[in-house]
Amino acid sequence: MKIIIFYFIIFLNLSSSYAAKKNIDQNQIYKNLRCLVCQGQSISDSNSDFAQTIKLVVKDLIKQGKSEKQIYTFMADKYGDWIVYKPQLNKQNFILWVLPYVILLGGGLVIFSIIRKKRKKF
Amino acid sequence: MQKVIKFLTTLIFLFVIVVFYFSLNKDPSYQTNSLVGKKLVELNLESFDGDYSLRTKDFKKNNFTLINFWASWCSPCRVEHPILMSLSKSKKLKLVGINFKDKKNNAKKFLNELGNPYNLIAKDEIGKKSVNFGIYGIPESILVNKEMIVIKKFIGPLNTRDYNEILKIIN
């Protein structure tokens, strides 16, 4: 009985995560797309003509079965990386993506060596 | 160890200064440079009278095509119209007009009044198809070669400087 319950829970988890993947949140996509004719507004925040058109196109792309990533790639292809609030990793922004991790790692190493030195003293 | 910390702190400080220096001197407005050299695909545009679909082969007949997005309600389109009329005289350039979110009667009136510079006219009544061309407002014009590769994108009404630049490219 315990095994059946265990498998049932796993099945529920898997199906819910699959459903979450399938149902793309279009509002989330609108929030991640910049309104090019507005000042500091996303497509979600704006009622401009441009924003309305992009919303329609996003809805169409979702209907066509495109994933969230594919929609961002489509938009970046047409309007450049500027339209996406979170640009995808490429040659131009490689340093910006990697540098925080390098600094974090370097900082960690510095802190680690300081602590080790202090311990040795005592 | 102290030296390493000092060196790293100075390095990070200099990096931040350099990033701020270049970022603050950069033009914050939307740039279209990244679109130059890209190939236009998925045209799927209906002609102005609805009797045929505009296809890639329509662009292959001429070495260069200027795709112009216009509407009768757009006053800057009126401003650039004489430039388009002058460009239409060039035999090396084909002009394709895409009537953007417009009413057919108003568009016809506009062309009857100011002249028709276009070799072909298509329509995009809702504006969704223009997204394929990276359009975000009109007037906008895209100069493409016969392979449909973007050579230059002009945002806003064409002016004399753009006119000269187009002639220089096509000749």
Q: What is the reported pLDDT for A88?
A: 75
Q: How far is B64 from chain A (nearest CA, A)?
A: 21
Across-strand partners of B45?
Answer: B54
Tens digits of residue pLDDT in B84-124: 999 999 999 999 999 999 999 999 999 999 999 999 999 99
Question: Which helix H or strand E contains B79, and what residues bound it?
Answer: helix B75-87
CB pairs under 8 A between A and B: 47
Q: What is the reported pLDDT for B88?
A: 95
Give me the average pLDDT of each 10-residue run along chain A (122 residues). 68 57 82 91 94 95 93 90 83 82 90 87 73
- Tell me the CA distances in angstroms from B90 to A26, B93, B117, B148, B161, one per residue in order: 46, 6, 11, 19, 16
CB–CB contact A56 B128 (8 Å): yes
Query: What is the average pLDDT score of chain B?
Result: 89
Q: Write out the two tokens for B67.
A: 């795709």
ipTM of the complex in this document: 0.77
**Lowest mean per-residue pLDDT among A50-59, B9-18, B36-45, B110-119:** B36-45
Which amino acid does the sequence have at B161?
Answer: R
CB–CB contact B128 A37 (8 Å): no
Cβ–Cβ < 8 Å for B39, B149: yes
Q: What is the reported pLDDT for A52?
A: 94
Interchain CB contact of A49 with B (< 8 Å): yes
End-to-end CA distance of chain B: 65
Q: What is the reported pLDDT for A2?
A: 67
Domains of chain B in start order, with CATH, are 34-170 (3.40.30.10)
Whether pLDDT at B64 is above 90: yes
CB–CB contact A77 B38 (8 Å): yes
What CA–CA distance (Å, rounded) separates B87 from B166? 9
Among all residues of chain B, which has the CA nearest to that of A81?
Answer: B34
- Partners of B133 on chain A (C-beta within 8 Å) are 78
Q: What is the reported pLDDT for A22?
A: 57
- Tell me the CA distances in angstroms from B68 to A23, A59, B44, B138, one per residue in order: 38, 26, 16, 9
For B142-156, b/e burial (b = at least 16 CB within 10 A) is bbbbeebebbbbbbe
Give counts: helices (H), strands (E), chain B.
4, 7
The side-by-side arrangement of strands in the sheet containing B53-54 is B53-54, B45-47, B120-124, B93-100, B64-70, B140-145, B150-155
Q: What is the reported pLDDT for B30?
A: 65
Q: What is the reported pLDDT for A62?
A: 95
For range B21-46, the mean pLDDT? 76
Q: What is the reported pLDDT for A56?
A: 95
What CA–CA distance (Å, rounded) separates A104 from A108? 6
Tens digits of residue pLDDT in A53-68: 999 999 999 999 999 9
pTM score over 0.90: no
Whether pLDDT at B24 is above 70: yes
Interchain CB contact of A88 with B (< 8 Å): no
Residues 8-47 of chain B whose Cβ lies under 8 A from any Cβ of chain A:
8, 12, 30-35, 38
Closest CA to A84 of A95, A73, A92: A73
